[in-house]
Amino acid sequence: MPPKRSGFTRLYFATIYSCRGIKAAFSSEAAVRQEIVAMALLIPIVFILDVTNSERVLLLFSLFIVLITELLNTAVEKLSDHVSTDMHELIGKAKDIGSAAVFISLILALVTWGIILL
């Protein structure tokens, strides 16, 4: 096990590990790629819209929550596949629950954008 790091060294390595995680998720999951493309299109629009700063923050939060949830779901799926590639009831439930979390985050984003824009 590597030694415990602290201060800026820990922050440096945490940033490297996070970038690796985003890269791994991007390269292995179509949903992550789709959500990042959607964010790349929608984030500039957030700054063009005639909305309050509070509404702008809510629009941005809703997009990032979708990506965060998708990354966590991807982590559950990868870990589940590492544990067993066989069909297993509990692994199936874990994957379904992760998928449900992504679905709910997408609904939250749609409702947020709908309320603010309509």
Residues contributing to the annotated binding site for substrate? 10, 31-35, 56, 70, 99
Phi, then psi, of 23 in degrees rounded to 5: -65, -45
Annotated binding-site positions for ATP: 10, 17, 29, 77, 95-96
Nearest 5 degrees, angle CA 22-CA 28-CA 29?
Answer: 85
Q: Which residue ranges make up the annotated binding site? A: 10, 17, 29, 31-35, 56, 70, 77, 95-96, 99
Among this protein's residues, is 70 annotated catalytic? yes
Which residue in the list 63, 66, 70, 105 is annotated as catalytic? Answer: 70
Among residues 100, 80, 82, the alpha carbon closest in space to that of 90 is found at 80
Catalytic residues: 70
